[in-house]
Amino acid sequence: AETDAFLRARAPALADDPAFRERARALAGWPLGLAALAADPSPQAVGRGLASTSDALPPALAGFVAEELVAPADAEMQAFMLRAAQLESPDPEALRAVFDCDDAPARLGWLAARHLARRAGEAWSLPAHLRAWLQAEAARTVPADERRGWHRWAAEHYRAAGRDALAIPHLLACRDWAAATQACAVAFPRMRHDGSQDQIGRWLDAFPAEAVDRDPRLLVWHGTALARDGRLPAGLAAFDRALAAYVRDGDRAGQFSVRVRQANIALARQEARPFAEYLLAAQVWELALGALVFVMPGLGLIAALSAGDRMLKQSLSSPGRAQMQAPLPAWRRAQASALIRGALAPGFY
């Protein structure tokens, strides 16, 4: 509430702008950063983001970081800060594994006492403006090969610890697309329902287009991100490419995943026939039969939408998938197929 009030007082024109608020959230708890952001709320400044280089920092804030936060530390602490800023979570274990910093707990404590680091559970973080400045300094002073080595070691550490989401940006930084895809395969299902969809989209955008087109899993996630942004035709196009790859590979689970997501888009667009057709192709017999309510005149569309949404969400989980695809007697499958295809026939109405 205090952050909202501050931003509305200092930058009322942009207080509700999503990009502006995303930058503001990165500075939550760091009053100086919020003040500098609100002092330079131009679209250009907002659009630059606050995560990669010192150019993203307002000049006054960049100067303050260099002169007041970094310069007072001795040379060894400055080197420690620069390395810690390269890690997604600069916790003591990661700092020991990647940089052989046995004194990491004491140094993190020194930073925390000066409000230059904070801990949330087992994860540690630096303020966004300090980390941005230090990352830019590393890009300027540390050879690229050495920085890629840091990212490889960090990714190995996080993946070995079962923290695949933390490994993803490091794998992307060293352009290991295959390993990044594997880490995404582990992390993304856990992230779908914890408010991290925007982060998933940003990571997918970091993959080159050819890497996405090579892997149907990336195509499915990309299509899901596009659909979530309201770009439904582009999302369907990505799903079509993923489906073709899964059909080519004989991957039935992959085909099911795509068909259900295609049905979800048809549901969002209230397109009755494609909704039932996608479910029929996925062989979700009972749910497809339920979809007939969409194409039968006189039945409630709103109630059907609500029921269909619940069933689709259930079908995307492993237990739900097993229930939806439970074997039916051959005569029942034939009856379901005939009923649905008959309902979808051009002359049905």
pLDDT in tens, 286-299: 555 555 544 444 33
Mean pLDDT over residues 308-328, rounded? 47
Q: What is the pLDDT of residue 115?
A: 87
Q: What is the pLDDT of residue 138?
A: 93
User: In terms of Cα–Cα distance, which of 113, 112, 138 is closest to 54?
Assistant: 138
- Name which of 167-171, 215-219, 319-323 the model is least confident about: 319-323
Most trustworthy range by pLDDT among 4-13, 175-184, 315-324:
175-184
- Read out DSSP for 200-249? HHHHHHHS-HHHHHH-HHHHHHHHHHHHHTT-HHHHHHHHHHHHHHHHHH
Tell me the whole-structure pTM to 2 decimals.
Answer: 0.67
Over the chain, what is the mean pLDDT? 75
CA–CA gap between residue 64 and residue 210 (Å, rounded): 41
Residue 2 binned pLDDT confidence (cut-offs 50, 70, 90): low
The SS3 call for residue 172 is helix
* Buried/exposed code over 310-332 (b: 16+ C-beta within 10 A; e: otherwise): ebbeebbeeeebeebbeeeeeee
Of residues 223 and 348, the one with the higher pLDDT is: 223
Of residues 69 and 38, the one with the higher pLDDT is: 69
Mean pLDDT over residues 189-198, rounded? 76
Q: Which helix (H) or strand (E) holds 118?
A: strand 118-120
Q: What is the pLDDT of residue 279?
A: 67
Tokens of 252: 């039935």
Mean pLDDT over residues 85-96, rounded? 95
User: In terms of Cα–Cα distance, which of 153, 196, 152 is closest to 175?
Assistant: 152
Considering the chain, what percentage of its residues have pLDDT values greater than 90? 38
Residue 106 binned pLDDT confidence (cut-offs 50, 70, 90): very high
CA–CA gap between residue 133 and residue 118 (Å, rounded): 17
